[in-house]
Amino acid sequence: MDILINRRSLIAHLGAVTSLLGVSDGTSAFAGSEGREVERLISRIDEVSGALRGELISITDWRVGIDELLSRIPPEDLVRGIDFDHLARRIGFAELGVTTAFIDFGVNEKRTLDFLPKLFAVDTGRSIIPHGHANMVSAHLPLSGSFRLRQYDQLSRDEQSLTIRPTVDRTIRSGDLSSIGEDDDNVHWFIAEEPSYTFDVIVTGLDETARQPYDIFNLDMEEAERVEGDALHVPRLTVSEALTKYG
Ligand SMILES: [Fe+2]
């Protein structure tokens, strides 16, 4: 597949492109070898995300680039580098759905990241409720535990529903990255099979002319109706409805 063959050249190219944009190295937020490794990783994720926001690369390129970057670091090093124990203790688990924490990489007031780094905690049987997106992309790396992950292409959308097509249904564990595209794999649904955590890379505001920096559409998968082929027509839910039913 061309995309896979071109990964290395994409990342090398981005390094060259984004250095021209004046992306700085930031300051070290964490001590030790994992801290420095994570700092380099965050800087590269920031470059790739900045290139996406600057329309220098496509969403497909961004997904490939994030996959490549996160595959370079063992998840256990990332766990140590983000001060995981402290964050996990602080947020605990939710009775429904997830708890999340912004991960502060020590970026100073002169520079903000072009992506939002977050930790998600999901207890056994709880879920990141099924939802689609607009005007944003995200990537999710399980750090521990396991999930049943389902993803769907978003084919169309109206005020009441989304029409989607299944693309992924598998178990993911530590190191198994998943990401969403603008339409491809845009809908996702994670059910934790044990106490689980993910490291998330989120980029919002892809279209600066859009009314909102991003939008999320929660879905009532139990009420999905098959339409053409394997496509599904799925009603939308409010957050509280979706959490009660799927969280
Ligand atoms: Fe999402």
Handedness of CA 172, 163, 121, 204 (dihedral sign): positive
CA of 240 to the centre of ligand 1 (A): 16
What CATH number is associated with residue 158? 2.60.120.10
Q: How far apart are CA 62 and CA 78, in angstroms?
A: 20
Q: How far apart are CA 37 and CA 202, in angstroms?
A: 20
CA of 6 to the centre of ligand 1 (A): 27
- Going by pLDDT thresholds of 50, 70 and 90, the confidence category of residue 126 is very high
pLDDT at 105 over 90: no
Q: For the chain, how many residues are written? A: 247
Q: Supply the mean pLDDT for the chain.
A: 88
- Going by pLDDT thresholds of 50, 70 and 90, the confidence category of residue 32 is low
- Going by pLDDT thresholds of 50, 70 and 90, the confidence category of residue 17 is very low
CA of 33 to the centre of ligand 1 (A): 31
CA of 131 to the centre of ligand 1 (A): 6
CA of 199 to the centre of ligand 1 (A): 13
- Helix, coil or strand: residue 191: strand
**What 3 state SS string does 81-136 have?**
HCCHHHHHHHHCCCCCCCEEEECCCCCCCCCCCCCEEEEEEECCCCEEEEEEEECE
How many domains is the chain partitioned into structurally? 1
Indicate the helix (H) or strand (E) that contains 20. Answer: helix 7-20
Residue numbers of the domain that contains 157: 2-246
CA of 22 to the centre of ligand 1 (A): 30
pLDDT at 135 over 70: yes
Angle at which helix 7-20 crosses helix 59-71, to 10 degrees, equals 100
pLDDT at 5 over 50: no
CA of 31 to the centre of ligand 1 (A): 31
CA of 132 to the centre of ligand 1 (A): 7
Instruction: Tell me if 64 sits within 8 A of 3, measured CB to CB.
Output: yes
CA of 232 to the centre of ligand 1 (A): 19
CA of 178 to the centre of ligand 1 (A): 11
pLDDT at 185 over 60: yes
Token representation of residue 160:
């009441």
CA of 200 to the centre of ligand 1 (A): 10
Spatial neighbors of 32 by CB under 8 A, at least 6 apart, are 80
CA of 26 to the centre of ligand 1 (A): 28
CA of 129 to the centre of ligand 1 (A): 8
CA of 130 to the centre of ligand 1 (A): 8
Could you tell me what percent of the chain has a pLDDT over 70? 85
CA of 140 to the centre of ligand 1 (A): 9
- pTM to 2 decimals? 0.86
CA of 152 to the centre of ligand 1 (A): 12
CA of 56 to the centre of ligand 1 (A): 23
